Amino acid sequence: MPTVVMVGGGQLARMTHQAAIALGQSLRVLAASPDESAAQVARDVVLGRHDDLDALRKAASGSTVLTFDHEHVPPQHLETLISEGVNVQPPPAALIHAQDKLIMRRRLEAIGAPVPPFAEVQSVADAEKFAETHGYPFVLKATRGGYDGKGVWIVDNAAELEKLVTESLAAGTTLLAEEKVNMRRELSAMVARSPLGQGATWPVVETVQRNGVCAVVMAPAPALADSTAAQAQQLALRIAETLGVTGCLAVELFETEDGRILVNELAMRPHNSGHWTMDGAVTSQFEQHIRATLDYPLGDTSPTAPVTVMANILGADNPPTMSMDERVHHLCARMPEAKVHLYGKGERPGRKLGHVNVRGTGTGSHHDAEYVHQVREKAEMAAHWLIHAVWTDGWDPHSGH
């Protein structure tokens, strides 16, 4: 059996390991510590950092393919591994577009993909020039290293501009400025591509962020025009092919108030916007990532329910005294249809601890607002319960109503 190595021991590696098991494999994980999500459950764990070449070499030794659960491995290390015969998927020439937002913006613009107006910012004057043309508020972003909204700032006026740009540049953070998009909502188009060039797309989904963190995903995106969905899927496939992406690619999109789509950013790995596929599609993103990086034929991406909603379990500011085990127990009793995925992490405010998937039953459609609402409410209620040990509808587990 092949050995797939994943750099990074977080929940994405943990769930990829689950999929590897079903294929008769066992994921090898490069984790920074034995208590990381994936290191808790995989047998084949190499302990070390993702930016340590020797640790990467050790993890890659004897592997069939090396892939990632995050995008932070230095490209020069990957080039070294390739020169030593390691099969790296996605290759560093593609991955750079998920590592550096300025390189990504420039490349997408060059291939004619729709992106918000942007500019590189190397000085306060650069940012002032951008503000003169595009006005306030605008968005300032760290070109590298951001995640979950860290490294993204809304700039409202000249004083803020000067402070943010001066401090960031002094700290060595490279920057870009971007128009603040007047958006209706955020979407994600998830595709997979194999080295041979086979592509597959899941339905386009809507992602709901709270405090810069993904909270809810609705699949397919409610009431999205079929033509816009097809356009987003074709765009994602074209980006995957043009950039030479292999494995999963999530194309995060803005749907503007006037109905256009713009690319926000790219992730070349399983992604939070694809967690619904574990229970709502014939092939999950985790299985597909393994198949795609190994150059197997890809799996069927058809949805298995009219609508599936994923709600993240994000650590509460004040975690309840009831144990997580007891919370899960109660959820099982009240909502047998809810599928719980926990990542084995300790509770900390805002931390992604797991997610719940709920599939819509019977006949329904993502164009039916009431049907979507019912599935979403159930998923959000389940996640809220697991986070706070409180039922939002006041349900009492002891009386049963």
Instruction: Catalog residues that contact ligand ADP under the rule CB under 6 A.
Output: 116, 139, 141, 146-152, 178-181, 186, 209, 212, 252, 264-265
* Shorter beta-carbon distance to ligand ADP: residue 114 or 146: 146
Binding site annotation covers 109? no
* Shorter beta-carbon distance to ligand ADP: residue 176 or 290: 176
Q: Say if residues 166 and 126 touch (Cβ distance below 8 Å).
A: no
Name the closest residue to ligand ADP (Cβ). 181
At position 43, the amino acid (one-letter code) is R
Strand partners, 2: none
How many Å apart are CA 328 and CA 382, to the nearest integer? 9
At position 59, the amino acid (one-letter code) is A
* Shorter beta-carbon distance to ligand ADP: residue 212 or 297: 212
In the complex, minimum distance from the CB of residue 145 to ligand ADP, in angstroms, rounded to a whole number: 9
Q: Say if residues 295 and 194 touch (Cβ distance below 8 Å).
A: yes
Binding site annotation covers 186? yes
Tally the residues of the chain. Answer: 401
* Shorter beta-carbon distance to ligand ADP: residue 76 or 147: 147
Residue with tokens 């080295």: 195
At position 282, the amino acid (one-letter code) is V
Binding site annotation covers 206? no
* Shorter beta-carbon distance to ligand ADP: residue 209 or 304: 209
Q: Say if residues 7 and 56 touch (Cβ distance below 8 Å).
A: yes
- Residue 249, number of CB atoms within 10 A of its CB: 30
In the complex, minimum distance from the CB of residue 286 to ligand ADP, in angstroms, rounded to a whole number: 20
* Shorter beta-carbon distance to ligand ADP: residue 150 or 163: 150
Binding site annotation covers 179? yes
How many Å apart are CA 401 and CA 395, to the nearest integer? 5
Binding site annotation covers 181? yes
In the complex, minimum distance from the CB of residue 68 to ligand ADP, in angstroms, rounded to a whole number: 15
Binding site annotation covers 345? no
Helix (H, G, I), strand (E, B) or coil at 6: strand
In the complex, minimum distance from the CB of residue 183 to ligand ADP, in angstroms, rounded to a whole number: 6
**Phi, psi (degrees; rounded to nearest 5) at 26:** -145, 120
CA atoms within 13 Å, Cβ hemisphere of 381: 19
In the complex, minimum distance from the CB of residue 175 to ligand ADP, in angstroms, rounded to a whole number: 13
In the complex, minimum distance from the CB of residue 151 to ligand ADP, in angstroms, rounded to a whole number: 6
Binding site annotation covers 352? no
Binding site as annotated, residues for ATP:
101, 141, 178-181, 186, 264-265
